[in-house]
Structure 1
Amino acid sequence: MSITSAFAITAALTAVIGLFAHMPARWFFGLLALASLLIGLDAALRGLGDNWVLLTLVTAAALAGAALHDVCTSGRRRRTP
Structure 2
Amino acid sequence: MSTLMIAAAAVGTLALIGGVLGLSDSWFCGLLALACVLGAADCAYREQNGYAFGLLICGAMLSGGALHAILAAGREQRRQR
Structure 1: runs of 5 or more not aligned: none
Once superposed, what is the RMSD of the aligned Cα atoms?
0.7
Q: Distance in 1 between matches of 2:45 and 2:35?
A: 15
Number of aligned positions between the proteins:
80
AA aligned to 1:80 is R
**Is 1:73 equivalent to 2:58 in the alignment?**
no
1:36-80 C-alpha deviation (Å, 9 max, x unpaired): 0000000000112x2211111100000000000000010000110
Report the TM-score, using the length of structure 2 for normalisation.
0.95
Q: Percent identity?
A: 35
AA aligned to 1:68 is L
Report the TM-score, using the length of structure 1 for normalisation.
0.95
- 4+ aligned runs moved over 6 Å, structure 1: none
Counterpart for residue 59 of structure 1: 58
**Is 1:27 equivalent to 2:27 in the alignment?**
yes
Q: Distance in 2 between matches of 1:4 and 1:52?
A: 15
3-state DSSP of counterpart to 1:22: coil
Structure 2: runs of 5 or more not aligned: none
